[in-house]
Amino acid sequence: MKQVYEESDLLPAKPRRRGIYLLPNLFTTAALFAGFYAIVQAMNGRFERSAVAIFIAMVFDGLDGRVARLTHTQSAFGAEYDSLSDMVSFGVAPALVVYEWALKGLGKLGWVAAFIYCASAALRLARFNTQMDVVDKRYFQGLPSPAAAALIAGLVWLMLDFEVQGRDISMIAWVVTVFAGLTMISNIPFYSFKDLNFRKSVPFIALFFFLIVFVLLTSAPAKVLFAIFLLYSFSGYILWFWRRRKGKDSGKENEG
Tell me whether residue 144 is in a domain: yes
Look at residue 8 in the predicted model and tell me its pLDDT.
43
Tell me whether residue 13 is in a domain: no
Q: Which amino acid is at 249?
A: D
Q: Which amino acid is at 111?
A: W
Number of domains in the chain: 1
3-state DSSP call for residue 13? coil
- Angle between helix axes 221-255 and 170-184 (nearest 10 degrees) is 50
Q: What CATH number did the domain enclosing 142 receive? A: 1.20.120.1760
Look at residue 14 in the predicted model and tell me its pLDDT.
47
pLDDT range class, residue 1, cuts 50, 70, 90: very low
Tell me whether residue 91 is in a domain: yes
Look at residue 248 in the predicted model and tell me its pLDDT.
61
Give the burial string for 204-229 (b: 16+ CB within 10 Å, else e). Answer: eeeeeeeeeeeeeeeeebbbbbbebb
192 contacts 138 by C-beta, under 8 angstroms: yes
Expressed as residue numbers, the domain containing 178 is 23-195+224-249
184 contacts 120 by C-beta, under 8 angstroms: yes
Q: Is the pLDDT of residue 199 over 90?
A: no
Q: Is the pLDDT of residue 135 over 90?
A: no
Look at residue 253 in the predicted model and tell me its pLDDT.
58
Tell me whether residue 152 is in a domain: yes
Overall pTM > 0.95: no
Separation CA 207–CA 79 (nearest Å): 33
Average pLDDT value for the chain = 87
Condensed to tens digits (0 to 9), the pLDDT of residues 49-87 reads 999 999 999 999 999 888 888 888 888 888 899 999 999
225 contacts 157 by C-beta, under 8 angstroms: yes
Give the burial string for 78-99 (b: 16+ CB within 10 Å, else e). Answer: beebbbebbbbbbbbbbbbbbb
Tell me whether residue 204 is in a domain: no
Condensed to tens digits (0 to 9), the pLDDT of residues 104-130 reads 999 999 999 999 999 999 999 999 888
Look at residue 15 in the predicted model and tell me its pLDDT.
44
Rg of the chain, C-alpha, whole Å: 22
Separation CA 118–CA 94 (nearest Å): 8
3-state DSSP call for residue 189? strand
Least-confidence region, from 14-18, 25-29, 117-121, 152-156: 14-18
Cα distances (angstroms) measured from residue 88 to each of 63, 120, 132, 145, 176:
17, 13, 20, 11, 19
% of residues, the chain, pLDDT over 90: 62
Highest mean pLDDT among 20-29, 98-107, 127-136: 98-107
